[in-house]
Amino acid sequence: MRMGLIGLGKMGHNMRDRLQSGGHDIVGFDPHVASSNVDTLEQLISSLDAPRVVWIMVPHGSPTRDTVGALTELLEPGDLVIEGGNSRFTDDQLHAQYLAKRGIDYLDCGVSGGVWGRELGYALMVGGDAAVVERAMPLFRSLLPDEDLTKCFVHAGPVGAGHFAKMVHNGVEYGLMQAYAEGYELLSAQHLVTDVQGVLEAWTSGTVVRSWLLDLLVDALRTDPGLTDSSGYVADSGEGRWTVEEAIAHSVPVPVISAALFARFSSQQADSPAMKAISALRNQFGGHAMQKVTL
C-alpha cells in the first residue's frame, strides 16, 4: 500500500521504517527533517493515487488541528486520514465531523511502543467505522508485533475511542512508573540493601511485579548507576491530566494516577510555594526553625 506520512520525528521515522519493511511505499513529509521525501504538503498529496491514505504523526493540539485543516482543502472524497499522535479524543470527534463534510474518512489510532517499536512492533488502539478500519488493516498489521492480533490490536469503538484508550494507557503508565520510582528510592535509602540494582533485576523474572517498564529501569541503572546523569524534572505531556479530568467527569476514583500526576508537578517546581507556606506555618504555631535560602 502507498501512504503519506506527515511527521518524521523519532516515532514517525521509526514507523516509516517498519512500514517500509512490511512492503509498503511510504512518502514522508516533515519540513523540519532532512529525511523528508517531499518539500510541501501539496507535493505529498499529489504523489499519492486516489483513494489516498495519509497518516499524521505530529504533536497534539494546534499542530494536529492545523494539519487536519490543511488536508481538508487538499484531499478528496474517499480519501482517509489516520491520526496516530496523542490527540485528545474530543479533538478526534471534531476532526472526523469536519472531514466527513468533504467525504473524507477518519480514524484515530493510539500507538504504544516508544522508540523500541521499530524493532519490536507497536500496540495499536483504533477508533472509527469498522469498514474504514478494515481498509487500513494492511498498514496496521505491518506495525504490530509478530503475534496474535488480539494481544496487540483493538478496534476500541467509534471515532475517539482509540485515543481515549491510549489516554488511559498513559495514565496507568504514570502510576506504574511512579510506583517503581518510589520503590527504587526506598531501597536506596536503606543501608542494609547493598545492591539496589540487583534487587530490581531479581524482580524482573518470576515476580508479580515484573514488567517491561521494570526491565527498562534496570537497564537505566546499568548504564548510569545511581542515576547521577538524570534530572529530577519530569514533564507531563497531557495524557495524564486528561485521564484525571475524565475520571472526575465520570466520578471514577483514580488516586494512584492522580498522585503520580501531582508528583510530576512537584518535580517541576524548583522551590515549592506550598512547602514554603508549610515551613512558615510550622514556625508560627510551633516555633520550628525555618531554613533560610542561601544566596
Flag whether pLDDT at 205 surpasses 80.
Answer: yes
Average pLDDT over residues 164-191: 96
288 or 211, which is more confident: 211
Flag whether pLDDT at 271 surpasses 90.
Answer: no
What is the spatial distance between Cα 274 and Cα 139, in angstroms, rounded to a whole number? 49
Helix (H, G, I), strand (E, B) or coil at 128: coil
Q: Which of 59-73, 142-156, 160-174, 249-263 has the lowest mean pLDDT?
A: 142-156
Look over the chain and give the mean of its residue pLDDT values, rounded to a whole number.
93
Q: What is the pLDDT of residue 213?
A: 95
Strand order in the sheet with 2-6: 25-29, 2-6, 53-56, 80-83, 105-112, 123-127, 153-157
pLDDT class of 294 with cuts at 50, 70, 90:
low
Longest distance between any two alpha carbons in the chain, whole Å: 76
pLDDT class of 70 with cuts at 50, 70, 90:
very high
Q: In the chain, how many H helices and how many E strands?
A: 12, 7
C-alpha cell at 226: 545511581
pLDDT class of 147 with cuts at 50, 70, 90:
low
Flag whether pLDDT at 7 surpasses 90.
Answer: yes
Q: Which of 63-72, 94-103, 230-239 has the lowest mean pLDDT?
A: 230-239
What is the spatial distance between Cα 173 and Cα 167, in angstroms, rounded to a whole number? 10
Catalytic sites, residue numbers: 166, 173
Q: Which of 52-56, 107-111, 252-256, 289-293 has the lowest mean pLDDT?
A: 289-293
Q: What is the pLDDT of residue 289?
A: 75
Model pTM above 0.95: no
Kindly report the CA angle at 272 between 266 and 278, in degrees rounded to 5? 115
Helix (H, G, I), strand (E, B) or coil at 29: strand
If one counts every other C-beta atom within 10 angstroms of the C-beta of residue 215, the result is 15
Place of cell 514556625: 283
Question: How far, CA to CA in Å, does 161 sit from each of 124, 125, 147, 224?
Answer: 12, 8, 23, 39
What is the spatial distance between Cα 33 and Cα 30, in angstroms, rounded to a whole number? 6
